[in-house]
Amino acid sequence: FARLAAAGATFGQAGIEGRPASVMDLWEGDVPWGQLALTSLKAYELFQEGRQYIVRDGDVVVVDESTGRLRPITRWQGGLHQAVEAKEGVAIKQETHPTAQITFQVFFRFYRKLAGMTGTASPAAAEFYELYRLKVVPVPTNRPSMRVDLEPRLYFDTAAKHRYLCAVVERCWQLGRPLLIGTTSVRESEQIL
């Protein structure tokens, strides 16, 4: 607030009444200074590169926190994306406003025929039937599963976990076996690589 006032920001009601501006003036007037300040604080303090977003080719790209996948088309609303762009020093793009929204469930109902394949449909069979009137048919494997589910391993520090991971990767590489490594963030993926 003090920096805004010192920089010459005018607060409507204080100017009309001929008094010095106060913190309450941030939420009054034509310019929502208070909301802008809160959005900036949120961008600077709560959003971390490598966890909620990454910077790629001069753009802030949102990271889906549940899957770790990049969502290049997605932008945060309410000026948050622009605040993160300002924080990272990249070109600030204008906020977009959706003209229409639709859920996937409603979108899929526009099609007369639906089909699909997934490894996770059986637990959601009742939902598929309720939403789309689709039955879930489990297809057995061609051969018995050779997968061995091991006990979970717990590590007290990241370095020990990464040492074990390196040993597993090397063993699989020597055997010529592919290996899928799942991580919880982009930053962790980059550390492992």
Residues ≥6 apart with Cβ < 8 Å to 153:
164
Q: State pLDDT tens for residues 103-116.
A: 877 888 888 887 77
Query: What count of other Cβ atoms lies within 10 Å of the Cβ of residue 83?
Result: 22
| C-beta of residue 155 within 8 angstroms of C-beta of residue 168 | no
User: In terms of pTM, does the model score above 0.75?
Assistant: no
Along the 193 residues of the chain, how does pLDDT read in single tens digits? Answer: 555 556 655 656 666 666 666 666 666 666 677 788 889 889 999 999 988 999 999 999 999 877 778 888 889 988 899 999 999 999 999 887 777 888 877 888 888 887 777 878 888 888 888 888 888 888 888 899 888 888 988 999 988 998 999 999 999 999 999 988 887 777 777 778 7
| C-beta of residue 40 within 8 angstroms of C-beta of residue 83 | yes
Q: State pLDDT tens for residues 60-73.
A: 999 987 777 888 88
